[in-house]
Amino acid sequence: MPEASASPTSEPGRPGAGRRAKNVLPPREDPNAWYRQPLASLDFETTGIDPHRDRILSFAALSDVGGDLMGMVNPGVPIPESSADIHGITASDLARAPMSAQALRPVLAWVHDVIERRIGLVVYNASFDLTLLRAEAIRHDLDQPDWDRLLVVDPFVIDWGIDREREGQRRLADVAAHYGVRLDRAHDAAHDARAAREIAITMGKSFEKAIGSSLTMLMAQQRYWIAARTMDWNKRAHELGRGLTIPDLNWPFA
């Protein structure tokens, strides 16, 4: 009688009986995934929370290749005390800062360069910051980049998409803490932009299957999540007897 195997590789009568199971290797990570490539990052501090009417006070455009662009902006309008209490920027801080048109022209040129080089641009809550920048460009008659070709990575949208049931707020500081990313000075444009980029990279490494490995896939996925978030909100609004929200079809703009 043949000697019994001490550790049979399969049960009798099942497909593959008598054959040794092959080792199953974990799926290979894509070395060209967007989060493994250089990423730029952009953030603004502003006079308020209306991206169509409020103004930029400071900016941080962190390049993927060095040579970051940072500065202050004199908007020519008063800064509400409620906004100054958040970011600490006052009129006296901006007394010698360039006016909006002069200060933001290089930022728009920087975005144009990011687009032309097909680099992912990390912007936390992109529909606010990008709408704000576009509104400033229109207001001051500045040349605009080809927004339709912009490849956006928005950790705010991604976080909701991959972990929508998590309770609590999703401000940048909250999400940074959740993913273990250091944020030394919240509401400082440079610190916020840097933290947003680190959060995006952490998300990419942790959830590549859900997020996608290419920037074009990620753009489509983020648009899907935006639509799903609107549907989720409308469902809850209907249950509470509140007005419904029109789906945002223009993301990453509001």
pLDDT for 14 equals 43
Q: What is the pLDDT of residue 178?
A: 98
pLDDT (0 to 100) of residue 24: 54
Q: In the prediction, which pLDDT does 180 show?
A: 98
- The amino acid that residue 44 corresponds to is F
The predicted structure's pLDDT at residue 242: 81
Structural domains in the chain, CATH included, are 34-240 (3.30.420.10)
DSSP string for residues in the chain: -PPPPSS-SS-TTSTTTTSPPPP-PPPPP-TT-GGGS-EEEEEEEESSS-TTT--EEEEEEE-SSS--EEEE-B-SSPPPHHHHHHH---GGGGTTSPBHHHHHHHHHHHHHHHHHTT-EEE-TTHHHHHHHHHHHHHHTT-----GGG--EE-HHHHHHHH-TT--S---HHHHHHHTT---SSTT-HHHHHHHHHHHHHHHHHH-HHHH-SSHHHHHHHHHHHHHHHHHHHHHHHHHHTPPPPPP-TTTT--
Q: Identify the pLDDT of residue 5.
A: 40
Residue 27: the pLDDT is 53
- Report the pLDDT value the prediction gives residue 235, as an integer from 0 to 100: 77
pLDDT tens string, the chain, 254 residues long: the values are 444 444 333 333 444 444 444 555 445 678 899 999 999 999 999 999 999 999 999 999 999 988 899 999 999 999 999 999 999 999 999 999 999 999 999 999 999 999 999 999 999 999 999 999 999 999 999 999 999 999 999 999 999 999 999 999 999 999 999 999 999 999 999 999 999 999 999 999 999 999 989 999 999 999 999 999 888 877 777 788 887 676 667 999 99
Task: Give pLDDT, residue 8.
Answer: 37
Could you tell me which residues come within 8 angstroms of residue 168 by beta carbon, excluding any fewer than 6 positions away?
A: 174
pLDDT for the residue 133 = 98
